[in-house]
């Protein structure tokens, strides 16, 4: 594999002759498989060889000895540097730890921490209860984990334990979340998660009494807000801001078109598979929607052309059947959060001002366009995968022509 990056045989011999030469070459193979660029490999290999030589002098004789020499090498490498030490240390330490994770499966570095389940020790079995007894989907369980992690951090900050909870502590936590600038619906969801958690803790004997009734959530009126859609002219500005000459631009353009054409959710786009695109029949299948059903759309020529352009000239080689992948190494399918971040980035780039910009902004825009073109709410709800017709009712507030007719006393038949 080194021959793919180095021309001079002497250079290859020097790397392979290093006492961890086999491990370095194994790491290079891994980098190539993950889609890293050649310049990344050429920058990291000399650093790894220098690390091996540095660790050899104090007595390292096997790969297992390398982790204890990592921090001294980083300090040595940074000596005399005028750059910001924290950032440079991260650049030096990161590739070394990555190589150690490849060759030492048990190695744990100092990278981004991976937090476990909240309250795993104090209230064990809660997340298994959500899946087994309540039948929640993984996405819902993830939301529970997100909200409870905030509650766990709050309790740690005030030095309180779950077994010593009180209505006053619960009220303080909800007040803190409300003052954090969160939407009322987010605070309400936090309260709902907290109620379920408190009832379970009481059932398991962790709490002496059921405190779920002490959690009061804010009143949220279902039709009190307007959908955060943008105009069709602004959609054109957003799409025009995508540089479709790059692999990432081809991917992002296809994602934005899927959002605004079919009103797909970010989760549905990240889960889209190659088998869901029927090129012969010109159909696009969305097999697992939020409402528990599937939908098949006619494949728009514009969307089809964008998908074909990305699949042919932008999608990295992978055995995974997912359609969309990260633009940077390592090669992995794109996440739900990344889809929303993609939409937010281009909304900001286009200078479009909208509350909480993201993938749902373009989803709302798709629905708004259907309303403006006179489609019935039942048809619209089926198109975008609403579980209940009530979810679509909010769009009646922006059906300007029918609202004008109502104000004039005219009959409106839909």
Active site residue 395: yes
SS3 content of the chain, % helix, strand, coil (to 5): 60, 5, 35
Q: From the candidates 244, 360, 364, 369, give the one annotated as an active-site residue.
A: 360
User: How far apart are the C-alpha atoms of 247 and 190, rounded to whole Å?
Assistant: 39
> From the candidates 251, 315, 363, 369, which is the catalytic residue?
363
Active site residue 265: yes
Catalytic residue among 144, 147, 200, 395: 395
Question: Considering Cα of 336, then 180, then 150, then 212, what sign does the dihedral take?
Answer: negative
In angstroms, the CA 48 to CA 20 distance is: 9
Check if 164 is active-site. Answer: no
Report CA-CA distances (Å) from 185 to 177, 190, 294.
Answer: 12, 9, 27
Q: Residue 286 in 3-state DSSP?
A: strand
Identify the three-state secondary structure at position 402. helix
- Tell me which of 265, 267, 315, 369 is the catalytic residue: 265
DSSP tag of 205: T
Considering only CA atoms, which of 106, 194, 94 is closest in space to residue 143? 194
Whether 363 sits among the annotated catalytic residues: the reply is yes
DSSP alpha helix (H) spans, 85-136:
85-103, 126-132
Q: Which of 290, 326, 332, 344 is catalytic?
A: 290
- Name, in order, each residue with C-beta under 8 angstroms of 298's C-beta and a sequence gap of 6 or more: 282, 283, 284
Whether 310 is catalytic = no
Q: For residue 259, which of 347, 344, 343, 362 has the smallest C-alpha distance? A: 362
CA distance 124 to 18: 48
Catalytic residue flag (residue 390): no
Q: Looking at the annotation, which residues are catalytic? A: 265, 290, 360, 363, 386, 395
């Amino acid at each position: 594999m080194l021959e793919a990056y180095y021309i001079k045989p002497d250079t290859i011999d020097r790397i392979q002759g290093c006492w961890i030469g086999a491990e370095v070459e194994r790491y290079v193979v891994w980098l190539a498989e993950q889609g890293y660029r050649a310049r990344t490999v050429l920058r990291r290999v000399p650093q790894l060889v220098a690390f091996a030589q540095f660790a050899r002098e104090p007595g390292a004789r096997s790969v297992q000895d390398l982790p204890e020499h990592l921090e001294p090498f980083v300090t040595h490498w940074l000596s005399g540097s005028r750059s910001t030490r924290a950032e440079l240390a991260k650049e030096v330490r990161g590739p070394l730890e990555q190589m150690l994770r490849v060759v030492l499966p048990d190695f744990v570095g100092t990278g981004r921490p991976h937090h476990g389940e909240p309250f795993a020790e104090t209230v064990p079995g809660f997340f298994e209860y959500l899946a087994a007894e309540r039948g929640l989907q993984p996405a819902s369980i993830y939301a529970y984990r997100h909200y409870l992690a905030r509650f766990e951090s709050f309790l740690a900050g005030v030095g309180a334990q779950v077994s010593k909870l009180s209505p006053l502590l619960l009220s303080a936590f909800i007040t803190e979340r409300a003052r954090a600038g969160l939407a009322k619906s987010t605070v309400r969801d936090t309260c709902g998660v907290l109620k379920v958690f408190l009832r379970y803790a009481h059932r398991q004997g962790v709490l002496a009494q059921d405190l779920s009734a002490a959690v009061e959530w804010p009143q949220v009126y279902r039709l009190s807000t307007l959908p955060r859609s943008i105009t069709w002219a602004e959609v054109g500005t957003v799409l025009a801001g995508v540089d479709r000459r790059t692999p990432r631009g081809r991917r992002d353009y296809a994602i934005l078109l899927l959002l605004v054409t079919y009103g797909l959710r970010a989760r549905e786009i990240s889960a889209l598979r190659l088998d869901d695109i029927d090129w012969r029949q010109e159909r696009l299948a969305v097999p697992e929607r939020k409402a528990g059903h599937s939908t098949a759309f006619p494949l728009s020529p514009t969307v089809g052309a964008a998908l074909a352009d990305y699949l042919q000239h932008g999608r990295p080689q992978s055995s995974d059947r997912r359609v969309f992948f990260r633009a940077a190494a390592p090669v992995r399918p794109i996440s739900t959060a990344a889809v929303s971040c993609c939409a937010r980035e281009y909304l900001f780039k286009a200078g479009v001002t909208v509350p909480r910009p993201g993938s749902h902004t373009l989803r709302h825009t798709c629905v708004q366009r259907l309303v403006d073109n006179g489609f019935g709410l039942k048809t619209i709800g089926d198109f975008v995968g609403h579980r209940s017709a009530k979810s679509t009712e909010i769009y009646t507030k922006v059906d300007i022509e029918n609202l004008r007719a109502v104000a004039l006393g005219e009959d409106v038949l839909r």
